[in-house]
Structure 1
Amino acid sequence: MKVLAFSVVILTLLSACGGSDSDDASLAATVNAGADQQVIEKSDFTITAQGSPSGGVFSWQRVSGPIIDGFPAEGAELTITAPDVKKDSELRLRVNYQTLDGQLVSDEVSIQITSNNQLPVAVITQTAPDLPSRYNDTITLSGVESFDVDENGAIDNFVWQQLAGPELSVASLSEQNVSFLHPLLENNSQITWQLTVTDDEGGVASTEKTLTLNKTADVIIANAGDDQHVIEFDLVTLDASQSQVVTSTKQCQWQQLSGEIVTLANQQQCITGFNAPDVDTDNELAFEVEVTDTKGRTNSDTVLIKISPKPLGFINDSGLGECFNNSQKINCASDNFPLQDADVGRDSVANQLDKAGQGDLAFDFTKLNQFADELPDDATVFSCVRDNVTGLIWEVKQPSNSLPPATTSRASSNHYTWYLNNETGILAGSVAGPANQLNSSCPSTTHCGLQAYVDEVNASDYCGGSNWRVPTYIELLGLIDYGKQGQTSLLSNVFFPNQPAVTQLGSLPYWTSQTAVDGTSLSQAYILDMSDANDLAYPKSNTAFVRLVRSPGE
């Protein structure tokens, strides 16, 4: 108890000539909040204050500690219910006493409140599967129905422990639920789990649940693994390690059932393999594994291995079908000049390729109409071309009977400055050529930069797509047929007709989408010259031709 007293003394001095002196001092006020107490949470206790002189007013307030109902309050004696606390706490209360003559004094009392935590209740329920459970069922036990008896309590932690039964694999033992697979069993077996829960005040409680796991009809389950699709010459792995037996160990024996005969690395291992044979067409091999446990019981399973010919890549070859020495054509089998283009890659097996369309050597193009529907190989009117090697769809230009700007938008003779943008804005170094004017290089009324043409083609849903773009260096390079060296153009006139005249710009430069980074500026981009296959870092302010491309399905 701490006493805080404030006394007000009023002295009145009365003096009279020839009279005697007298004084009258009022009594100093005091208050006592009573003795400190120790109580249990949620129990009733009484606080009593005494004040002097009598007749004054008592008022109470909480100074510190847990919130308490009914405060502030008045009265010399109060009965209070101790608040519910999570841990032992101190509640400090102050009483103020005001006397009739206006004096104000205070005192404090300490109430030590002891937490009286009630232990939680652990409850286990089986939520899956529908009973009875069988081999390979996922069994789930839940502790969600566990609860804290305290009104404002909660369960903070769950801990699971397997006390008895077959060995199991469990992902987590500290969640509300625990799940495990019903194992392969030779006899019915019991399994016991214990759940321990802890509440938010540290109270701990546990419970146990025992389940019966049923035996399985087949005590061996052979598993040869998933069917596979591989490419010729691949290393193929046969894996029966996931086969299940009730004994501690197992043995495996592989044999080939069908298909081209291969040599297994070890037929008596659960994991073995072989190199896929050379095939010209899709082939299928079948293998069987027999699994035996230590009691001599067996079970078997099969797996299918589909083997496909090795793909020759997703880029075009050079188009060269002949081999040369330093001065003349030679036999490609010559050891003096090995590994020439005509002797390796797609072009070397062009006669064996199963093409979807047509094209010189390994080139494989299909003509498409304005809706991107396939046309016969001999079609003379078509809007775009699909490269069946890369999957890209290319723009086919319209013929041009005049020079820009007196041309149609897709005329082959139109040429553009390098001006492109992306999601973040205009790309560095872009230069927008002048719009349709006397000396313009295209008929666009926006500008004669590449982006104006890209936007115009996409807006027309040309050839069934709105994702047309300027090709990358590698994409454009894939159209060049080096076997046409010495001709006016290195592009196939059969699939890319209506090409511009070399005399128009002095060569056949076509823009790529890639800026040439020379370390000092971003003012140049790469072009590929379709008249001689040379590449060049070209000023973006210059004009060049363009052939748009798109990827199907985007």
Structure 2
Amino acid sequence: MLNRLVLPLLIGSLLVGCGGGSSSSEPAQENASINVNNNITVVEKASVTIAASASPADGVFNWQVISGPALEGFPQQASEVTITAPDVKTDSVIMLQVDYRAPNDKTASDTITINVTSENQLPIPAITQTAPDVLPAKYPDTVKLSAATSSDPDTNGAVVSYQWQQLAGPTLSLSDLTQSEISFVHPLLLQTQTARFSLTVKDDEGGEASTEFSMTLAATNTPVLAEAGDEQTVTEFDVVTLDASKSVSVSGSYTCLWSQQGSNLPVVINDVASCTTTFIAPNVDSTAEVSFKVIIKDPLNLSEDDSVKVTITPKALGLRNDSGLDSCFSNTSVITCNDSTFVNQDGDVGRDSVASLIDKTGTGRIGFDFTKLNQFADELPDSETVFTCVRDNVTGLIWEVKETNTGTVPNTSIRDGKNHYTWYLSADGSAQDGSIIGPANSTCPSNVNCGIQSLIDDVNASNFCGGSNWRLPTYLELLGIIDFGHSDGKQLLDPIFFPNIPSAALLNHQYYWTTQTSVDGRSLTQAFILDMQTGNDLAYPKKNTAYVRLVRTP
């Protein structure tokens, strides 16, 4: 109930004086006066009545707030007013002024100070469990406790801060303890335990109140949970990580032991006793799957296992050879490949970067893979030193191996490495554009001419190395057998598979013809050559001569 305080009305009196020996025809005017009681103190939201006395009577009163919080219903016109002290956050002062106008238009004013005392009501803390949806909670549910229903009973009050604290129970990883909601993951427990929490809330006037909340954390049926990680799809030669670090045990610690399961694709695990370990995805010809099992054991000798499947796909190495470069460089020196500053170098990618992991049909430096063949195109051992042609196991092409020391040009054998030819090719009996016939018995032993086609015809007629489809290689085919990492300074072909290369006798270069005509917009008189000494290419006049290495498909 609101308190009412009635102030007594004080009546002022006015005295009218008369002169002793004189008289006036007009009566004297009475001055106006008003009086309000002394200052008062009132509690917020309480009611109080204030009265004013004035003279002469029957005038008009006018009350107004001149400072402090606003009062509902003001200004008012009455000799007596009732006010309800406002709801304030802190002690406040209101000053009221009352003005009085007498019937004779004389005026007077007075003021009163009202001290309003703040009376804060403490907030009401409340805790509600809002997750999980299905109760009771169990491992590994996320548990949420909310203080959102906490309240401040003051009409214009509000809860402004929260402080949580765990008082008892197992160690929990709690979220921010100063928010209206906290959460944690239900732990793995060997025995049922009780977790107890306290919540302290503060309102906007500094009032604090606390409450407590208890909940049961259930024991688990499986005291060790093994987690081998997610299934993966990787590419052969990738470094693959096996990760069991998300496993848990009631003791909080455990050991790991990895093993490969039921696969004829052998894998070498780097450290079988490490919870996070790696292996190199093996070489595969087609997509394959391997499975791994991890056994998780805790100090209580409790254990569980889990398995994970890894799918391995072939690496897209393509049907072309790499460059033969397996080194990487900074601006000034050789560095380790896969450097984060100098990225995507030749040595970082392609067949050469995984050469040590590739299963080869034959042998060869870095990513190259060659097989030696005899005159019938039968395979020979890698150690054989006498062979007639070479099969590139990457591209499938078969390459001519030259003879040497058969004489002096033009008194040499047909396939002597020293023979050189003008660019002359024909198709269906017609010479290709720009072809130039070289004179017979000039730079080759042919009695017909020393154009490339004469060599092709002679070799095919002999069914050389089991085939009669020998031809001049394309630019990319010839480029594919150049090993730019071969650094003897004499040639860029591996002499183990391509012996008998002539010395750089043609303009101090080892020029070899390709089928690629150079189209410069004016003529078709040049074709591209590749220099087996430097690796450079050049548009070269077809009338000039260059060496030839023939190729065929199986």
1:303 is matched with which residue? 308
Distance 1:285 1:36, change over 3 A: same
Partner SS, residue 212 of structure 2: strand
Decide which of 272, 279, 282 is 1:274's aligned counterpart: 279
Q: Note if contact 2:322-2:368 (Cα within 8 Å) is conserved in structure 1.
A: no
1:309-337 Cα offsets, whole Å, 9 max, x none, are: 33359xx99999xxxxxxxxxxxxxxxxx
1:239 to 218, 230, 243: 243
CA distance in structure 2 between the aligned counterparts of 1:231 and 1:64, rounded to whole angstroms: 81
Tell me, yes or no, if structure 1 residue 87 matches structure 2 residue 118: no
SS in 1 for 2:241: strand
Deviation at 1:24, TM superposition (A): 6.5
1:367 aligns with none
For 1:353 and 1:85, the matched residues in 2 are separated by 90
1:120 Cα shift?
Answer: 1.5
State the AA in 2 paired with 1:96: D
> Which consecutive residues of structure 2, in runs of 5 or more, have no partner in the other structure?
1-21, 324-345, 354-366, 370-391, 397-478, 481-513, 523-538, 540-554
Contact 1:281 1:309 in 2 (8 A): yes
Number of the residue aligned with 1:461: none
Q: Render the CA deviation track for 1:383-410: whole Å, top value 9, x for unaligned.
A: xxxxxxxxxxxxxxxxxxxxxxxxxxxx
Distance 2:184 2:226 in 1: 21
Aligned to 2:222: 218
8 Å CA contact retained: 1:342, 1:348? no
Distance change (3 Å), C-alpha of 1:166 and 1:38: same
Partner of 2:289: 284
CA offset at residue 160 of structure 1? 2.0
Q: Aligned to 2:517, what secondary structure does the other structure show?
A: coil
SS in 2 for 1:49: strand
Q: Does 1:50 align with 2:53?
A: yes
In the aligned structure 2, how far is the partner of 1:319 from the partner of 1:248? 51
2:199 maps to: 195
Q: Distance in 2 between matches of 1:195 and 1:20?
A: 86
1:87: Cα distance to partner? Answer: 2.3
User: What is the aligned partner in structure 2 of residue 204 from structure 1?
Assistant: 208
Aligned residue number for residue 97 of structure 1: 100
Paired position in structure 1 for 2:185: 181
Question: Is the Cα–Cα contact under 8 Å of residues 156 and 199 in structure 1 kept in the other structure?
Answer: yes
User: Following superposition, which runs of at least 4 residues in structure 1 exceed 6 angstroms of deviation?
Assistant: 19-24, 316-320, 341-345, 347-351, 481-484
Query: Is 1:116 paired with 2:147?
Result: no
Deviation at 1:253, TM superposition (A): 1.3
Change over 3 Å in CA distance of 1:344–1:255 after alignment to 2: closer
Q: Which of 270, 278, 297 is residue 265 of structure 1 equivalent to?
A: 270
Which structure 2 residues correspond to residues 112-511 of structure 1 after superposition, within 5 A? 112-129=115-132, 130-259=134-263, 260-312=265-317, 485-486=516-517
CA distance in 2 between partners of 1:266 and 1:343 (Å): 27
* Alpha-carbon distance change, 343 to 70 in structure 1, aligned in 2, over 3 angstroms: closer
Flag the 1:184–1:72 CA change in 2: closer, same or farther, 3 A.
same
Match for residue 79 of structure 2?
A: 76
Once residues 318 and 277 of structure 1 are traced to their aligned partners in structure 2, the CA distance between those partners, rounded to angstroms, is 20
Query: What is the aligned partner in structure 2 of residue 66 from structure 1?
Result: 69
Residue 163 of structure 1 deviates from its aligned partner by: 1.3
- Residue 56 to residue 301, structure 1, CA distance change in 2 (3 Å): same
Q: Which amino acid aligns with 1:269?
A: S
Displacement of 1:270 after TM fit?
1.5
**Equivalent-residue separation in structure 2 for 1:250 and 1:44 (angstroms):** 71
Letter paired with 2:168: A
Question: Which SS does the other structure have where 1:80 is aligned?
Answer: strand
The question of whether the paired residues in 1 share the 8 Å contact of 2:368 and 2:394 is answered with no
Superposed displacement of residue 178, structure 1: 1.9
Q: 1:117/1:353 Cα in 2 relative to 1: closer, same or farther (>3 Å)?
A: farther
Contact 1:162 1:193 in 2 (8 A): yes
Shift of 1:104: 2.1
Name the TM-score, length of structure 2 as normaliser.
Answer: 0.53
Change (3 A) 1:484 1:149: farther
Alignment deviations for residues 53-78 of structure 1 (CA, whole Å, 9 cap, x no partner): 33322110111222211111012221
Contact 2:321 2:395 in 1 (8 A): no
- What is the total number of aligned residue pairs between the two structures? 332
CA distance in 1, matches of 2:313, 2:97: 90
Q: Contact (CA 8 Å) 2:317, 2:351: kept in 1 or not?
A: no
Contact 1:247 1:294 in 2 (8 A): yes
The sequence identity of aligned pairs, in percent, is 42
Taking a change above 3 Å as real, the CA distance of residues 20 and 53 of structure 1, as seen in their structure-2 partners, is closer
Q: State whether residues 93 and 110 of structure 1, in contact with CA within 8 Å, keep that contact through their aligned partners in structure 2.
A: yes
Q: Which letter maps to 1:302?
A: S
Contact (CA 8 Å) 2:165, 2:177: kept in 1 or not? Answer: yes
Alignment of 1:512-551 (within 5 A): none
Q: Please list the CA deviations of residues 192-246 of structure 1 after superposition, one character each: whole Å capped at 9, or x if unmatched.
A: 1222222222222211111111111110001111122222222222221111111
Measure the CA separation in 2 of the matches of 1:110 and 1:59.
16
Measured after TM superposition, the shift of residue 98 of structure 1 is 0.9
Q: Deviations over 1:328-381 (max 9, x none)?
A: xxxxxxxxxx99x99979x98998699xxxxxxxxxxxxxxxxxxxxxxxxxxx
Q: Which residue of 2 aligns with 1:373?
A: none
2:463 counterpart residue number: none
Distance in 2, Cα, partners of 1:343 & 1:255: 30
Distance 2:171 2:262 in 1: 39
Give the TM-score normalised by the residue count of structure 1: 0.53
> Residue 546 of structure 1 aligns with which residue?
none
Going from structure 1 to structure 2, the CA distance change for 1:249 and 1:81 (only over 3 Å counts) comes to same
Cα gap change, 1:343/1:31 in structure 2, threshold over 3 Å: closer, same or farther?
closer
Distance 2:395 2:153 in 1: 77
| Aligned 8 A contact 2:322 2:352 in 1 | no
**Deviation for aligned residue 1:28:** 3.4
Provide closer, same or farther for how the CA distance between residues 153 and 343 of structure 1 changes in structure 2, counting only shifts above 3 A. closer
In structure 2, C-alpha distance between the alignment counterparts of 1:175 and 1:24, rounded to whole Å: 78
- Residue deviations 1:104-131 (CA, integer Å, cap 9, x gap): 2222222111111111111112222222
